[in-house]
Amino acid sequence: MFALLTRGIPSLKKHRYLKEKYQNSSDGYESLLLEDLNSEDGKPKPPDVHIRMPRIVNTCPPGSSSLRLALVVLSIGAASHFLLFLDSVVDNLLPAAMPFFLSVYETKENANHAWEMLVSSRIYGLAIGCFIAVLLSHRHGRKLPVVVGTILDVIGVILTLLITYVPHGVTVATIGRLINGIGQGMVQTAGSVMLSELPPLNKRGTVLATLTMWACMGELGGMTISLDDFFGTPELWQWAMGFPLLVLLPALYIICHAPESPRYLFLENRENEARKAMSYYQSPADCKQSIEEILIEKQYTLQMVKEKIDENGNSSKKEKDTLWNTIIERLKDGKFTRALLIALFVQTFVHLDDWLWISYSTQIFENFGLSSGKAQTASLIMSLPQAVISVALLGCFDNFDRRTLLIVPTILSVIFGFLAIVFSSPGLSSLVPLFVIIPILATFDLSVAAISGESAYAIVPELFLANDKVLGSAIVGIVQNGFGGVLTNCLLTALTNHGISNVLVPFVAMNTIYAAVTYKWLPETNGKTPQEISRHFSPEFPGTDFYLYVKHKCSNIAAYLTAKPVLLNVISFIVQLVGCIFLLDFGVSIFKKIGA
């Protein structure tokens, strides 16, 4: 810059800084005074140019950016996926809580229905929370939904603790779990988007994989704390549901003091705040690369937005920028809709066996002959390899393709589920003790689920552009948790009435379809920028080609029949004859019923 200025002033030979005048200046600037000393009388001329050059100030806060990023990442995971603790803990607490529920509802059937509602209410809350996250993120960014959701997590856990201490305690606890689910849904939606935007590209997969690590740790913690040796007794069982408070409160403090997502700030044209936030989360070298990537993505997004211009060259009047209009507009875009359909399939149906083993493994093991205490211990042991694998995989997650980590474990899950069906069938159940083989197969099943789960949770936010991440993740979360709520609400009754072998059949079939569909249509996302992934999807609305093909064929058939009136009359006669026979048969059936 100085060389350019020098070339613009040919007579300039020397320059000097007037430091004396600005020694006490505290505004972060220094003045550069350019003077010409080559005058005829040898005296310096008055200054020709004054330039105020900004001093480059290091805006990076003290401490390690990696440590700050790790604390925020772990806090978001603790306020979202770690709360699967509350799902696994209710599985193990059922035997200890049943005496209390029987004292309230008198019959075991009513007590089971109340317990199912208590369990599933949190899942329905997750769906509601995902929608609320969209409402807040549309106007207020990523951080606010995460903070509000974490506060709701805390409130929900506190209400759940009151289950045995207040009148209508089961209703209060059910509402508490609903509120807790809403909070987790908000953090899960906005938080997963925030996690995809905080780290540099080469660490994005590992950061997103921490969500599954937290989920596995939550499942393991819930099964551990609910053992008879801890809180799994009729006197203390309700306190087991309050353990997440020990993690939520520090997480809330860290999240409140963390800055907003730098990518969101850049897209909102708040560049100064964005650069400060970027220096909080990333090293200077990573900051430069990430800012270049964000600016390229921003330019790519702007190119996709085309304003309608009338014949006078004026921009057409825009509709009011409401959330509903935004959703409708995005759904019209084939790139977004195609990515959304794939994301819905990938996350909703990833390893469906999780819903079964996490929520009702203790009950299943008891049905196969284990005592209550041994069933709880078996559930705990079942979760140990899953937690170890999820933590170990973080060290090498970005070294593997996302598709490989998703498809291969799903195929292994199909094999383990098929073996469980075979061994639990009436013909083979007498050869091998089911209380031995089923826990072993469930352990293998959950172990591969840790791998496929980490990949699925990393893939879904990566499929969308920055402006679409919250909306896409929220829709996926709503569908996934709504589906999971219906599933968990029916599973206990299905297991009681039909047994594990029959219940596993649709799970194995769906996992087989899942592996085939993801292999065919899911793009690889590891190491790719959002705009690179977006180019994989066609801008045409899904199904357009099929609709045009069917329309073309129908037009050809209609033209062919129109050209051959005799054939058209024959077809019409056959259709009328079939209709008359159907009506005659229907009339005879009604006559017989009236006569009877």
pLDDT digits (tens, 9 = 90+) for 255-273: 999 999 998 888 888 889 9
**Bridge partners, residue 51, by sequence:** 32
* Lowest mean pLDDT across 36-40, 78-82, 558-562: 36-40
pLDDT of 538 reads 82
Phi and psi at 455, nearest 5°, equal -65, -45
- Asked whether the beta carbons of 105 and 111 are under 8 A apart, the reply is yes
pLDDT in tens, 105-130: 888 888 888 888 888 888 888 888 98
**Bridge partners, residue 49, by sequence:** 34
pLDDT of 527 reads 82
Residue 462 has pLDDT above 60, yes or no: yes
**Bridge partners, residue 325, by sequence:** none
Q: How confident is the model over 205-216, as a mean pLDDT?
A: 88
Choice between 29 and 340, residue whose per-residue pLDDT is larger: 340
**Bridge partners, residue 315, by sequence:** 309
Distance of CA 33 to the CA centre of its chain: 56
C-alpha–C-alpha distance, residues 352 and 165, integer Å: 36
Residue 52 has pLDDT above 50, yes or no: no
Q: How confident is the model over 42-47, as a mean pLDDT?
A: 50
C-alpha–C-alpha distance, residues 367 and 374, integer Å: 12
Q: How confident is the model over 145-156, as a mean pLDDT?
A: 95
- Asked whether the beta carbons of 413 and 448 are under 8 A apart, the reply is yes
pLDDT of 430 reads 64
- Asked whether the beta carbons of 146 and 241 are under 8 A apart, the reply is no
Residue 56 has pLDDT above 60, yes or no: no
pLDDT of 559 reads 76
Give 3-state DSSP helix, strand, coil % of the chain, rounded to 5: 75, 5, 25
**DSSP symbol at 30:** E
**Bridge partners, residue 50, by sequence:** 33
- Asked whether the beta carbons of 187 and 193 are under 8 A apart, the reply is no
**DSSP symbol at 320:** P
Cα first-last separation, the chain = 102
Residue 595 has pLDDT above 60, yes or no: yes
Q: Which tokens go with 359?
A: 């929520």
C-alpha–C-alpha distance, residues 364 and 435, integer Å: 9
Instruction: Tell me the percentage of the chain whose pLDDT exceeds 70.
Output: 82
Residue 153 has pLDDT above 90, yes or no: yes
**DSSP symbol at 81:** G
C-alpha–C-alpha distance, residues 169 and 172, integer Å: 5
Q: How confident is the model over 179-208, as a mean pLDDT?
A: 90
| Residue 102 CA: distances (Å) to CA of 353, 376, 421, 521 | 29, 21, 33, 49
**Bridge partners, residue 31, by sequence:** 52
Domains of the chain: 65-263+328-541 (1.20.1250.20)
pLDDT in tens, 542-557: 777 776 777 777 777 7
Residue type, 356: L
Phi and psi at 29, nearest 5°, equal -125, 155
Distance of CA 129 to the CA centre of its chain: 12
Q: Which tokens go with 8?
A: 């613009």
Phi and psi at 491, nearest 5°, equal -65, -45
pLDDT of 428 reads 67
C-alpha–C-alpha distance, residues 349 and 303, integer Å: 34
* Lowest mean pLDDT across 28-42, 471-485, 510-524: 28-42
pLDDT of 245 reads 94
C-alpha–C-alpha distance, residues 542 and 376, integer Å: 47
pLDDT of 60 reads 53
- Asked whether the beta carbons of 152 and 83 are under 8 A apart, the reply is no
Helices 204-225 and 85-105 meet at what angle, rounded to 10? 30
Residue type, 306: K
Confidence band (pLDDT; 50, 70, 90) for 408? very high
- Asked whether the beta carbons of 108 and 102 are under 8 A apart, the reply is yes
- Asked whether the beta carbons of 453 and 212 are under 8 A apart, the reply is yes
Q: Which tokens go with 532?
A: 């690179």
Residue 29 in 3-state DSSP?
strand
Which one, of 43, 42, 131, lies nearest residue 471 by Cα? 131
Confidence band (pLDDT; 50, 70, 90) for 88? confident
- Asked whether the beta carbons of 473 and 464 are under 8 A apart, the reply is yes
Q: Which tokens go with 48?
A: 């020709």
Distance of CA 241 to the CA centre of its chain: 24
Residue type, 496: T
pLDDT in tens, 335-393: 888 999 999 999 889 888 877 887 777 778 887 777 777 887 887 888 888 888 888 88
Choice between 88 and 214, residue whose per-residue pLDDT is larger: 214
* Lowest mean pLDDT across 9-18, 135-144, 171-180, 236-245: 9-18
Residue 52 in 3-state DSSP?
strand
Residue 309 in 3-state DSSP?
strand
Lookup result for tokens 């042991």: 381
**DSSP symbol at 291:** H
